[in-house]
Amino acid sequence: MKEIGEKLKEARESIGVSIEEVAEDLKLRPSQIENIEAGNTEAFKDMFYLKYFIRDYAKYLGLDKEDLIDEFNEYLFDYTSRLSLEDIKAAKKSKKENKKIKSPYTMERKNRISLIMFGIYVIIALLVVMIIYLIISLNTSETDDFVEGTIITESR
Answer yes or no: do 63 and 108 share one domain: no
- pLDDT tens string, the chain, 156 residues long: the values are 788 888 888 888 998 989 899 889 889 899 988 988 898 888 888 787 888 888 898 888 888 888 888 888 888 777 767 667 787 778 777 766 655 555 555 555 555 667 888 889 999 999 999 999 999 988 887 665 555 555 544 554
Which pLDDT score is estimated for 145? 55
Q: Identify the burial level of 30 via C-beta atoms within 10 angstroms of its C-beta, where 0-12 means exposed, 13-18 middle and 19 or more buried.
A: middle
Q: Among 51, 83, 98, where does a domain finish?
A: 98
- Residue 61 in contact with residue 53, Cβ under 8 Å? no
CA Rg, the chain, in Å? 35
Neighbours of 156 (CB within 10 A): 2
Domain count of the chain? Answer: 2
Distances (CA, A) of 134 to 96, 124, 129, 145: 60, 15, 9, 16
Which pLDDT score is estimated for 143? 62
CATH number of domain containing 65: 1.10.260.40
- Residue 116 in contact with residue 110, Cβ under 8 Å? no
User: Quick one: residue 101, left, alpha or beta (phi over 0 = left, psi -120 to 50 = alpha)?
Assistant: beta
Which pLDDT score is estimated for 86? 80
Answer yes or no: do 7 and 72 share one domain: yes
Name the DSSP class of 83: S
Q: Among 57, 83, 98, where does a domain finish?
A: 98
pTM of the model: 0.51
Answer yes or no: do 58 and 84 share one domain: yes
> ∠ CA(112), CA(118), CA(121), 5° rounding?
145
Which pLDDT score is estimated for 124? 96
- Domain residues for 118? 100-156
